[in-house]
Amino acid sequence: MNPEAILAAGYATLLLLVAVGLDRLARHAHNRADRYRTAGFRYHPQHDAWVCPQEEWLWPAEFDRHRRLVRYRAKPSVCNACPVKAACTTSPHGREVVRAVDPWPHSEAGRFHRGLALMLIGLAGLILLVETTRHHTPTELAVLAVPAALAGGLGWRFLDHLRNTPTGFPDPTPSTGLRLAAADRSADRSEHRTAPGSWRNSR
């Protein structure tokens, strides 16, 4: 068996491992940043709202169409009177928390790292394709087939995820909070705080 086929298979496998590691590292950094921004806050999907460590609710206030984020904001009068405001926010408009509406890789940074990973996978596939045309013995083809199959599977999976989060695609179905008018949100907030079946009274 030609040593070139073994070296090509090894190098292609290394490229695939680097691609997977790069994508996972970028995702981990993104998730860690999200956890840092929302540390101490709890999201309640049934109300589409966050609850801060002081048990105050943050409701949807804005949908950022460019960054595809929902911005949640607490009532300014509540935040400004909070005894721990200095450790929470300096904004006079209330504490804000953001939540992405799309799965990974939805952000520009996520799509950039996913693109780099796909480039490495494509390079590995190209190397394997060239080596396959140069070496035709069954043993050499078997050695090259393993990383080739891995490259094909990873490329399909990563590209499928990237296609599912393209730029400029239609807005998602509005969340519960975004469908409510300002007056309705205010009434709903009062209802959840005072109604016998509300989360706050069920503790």
DSSP 89: -
Pick left, alpha or beta for residue 68 (phi over 0 → left; psi -120 to 50 → alpha; otherwise beta). Answer: left
- Bigger pLDDT: 20 or 201? 20
CA distance 95 to 97: 7
Predicted confidence at residue 46, as pLDDT, reads 87
Mean pLDDT value of segment 67-82: 88
| Residue 99 · residue 48 · CB < 8 Å | no
> For residue 173, is pLDDT > 50?
no
Tens digit of each residue's pLDDT (9 = 90 or more) over 117-128? 999 999 999 999
pLDDT band at 7 (very low <50, low <70, confident <90, very high): very high
More confident residue, 166 or 99: 99
For residue 105, say if its preceding peptide bond is cis, omega within 30 degrees of 0: yes
Residues 6+ apart with CB under 8 A from 47: 57, 176, 177, 192, 199
pLDDT (tens digit per residue) in 119-162: 999 999 999 999 998 877 889 999 999 999 999 999 999 888 77
Q: What is the pTM of this model?
A: 0.63
